[in-house]
Amino acid sequence: MASDLRNFVRSKEDLYVILTIEGQLHLPPYDECTMEFMRDALSGKKRLLTNRELAPVNVPRFKEFSTVNLYKAAIADEELR
């Protein structure tokens, strides 16, 4: 319960560690995660994914898919331009 956490939480870092390590919840990176976001997650306004629900994907890097090459291809296409 959120009220039970008051005894253990002294800072943003404490709450972040409790949610990520103990709760096994996926949160944004620490620097981008605000107290308001975590408060909304605890109150049920935001739904957090568990680490088990995540499906990691490795996207291969191709030189053909760089923004420079895609931009050149888009400009060369009459319909896209």
Does pTM top 0.85 for this prediction? no
How far apart, in whole angstroms, are the C-alpha atoms of residue 6 and residue 29? 23
More confident residue, 81 or 38: 38
pLDDT (0 to 100) of residue 52: 94
How far apart, in whole angstroms, are the C-alpha atoms of residue 14 and residue 33? 13
> Would you state the structure tokens that stand for residue 25, as one six-digit string?
């919840």
Average pLDDT, the chain: 87
pLDDT (tens digit per residue) in 23-52:
999 999 999 999 999 989 988 899 999 999
pLDDT (0 to 100) of residue 3: 66
pLDDT (tens digit per residue) in 6-26:
777 888 999 999 899 989 999
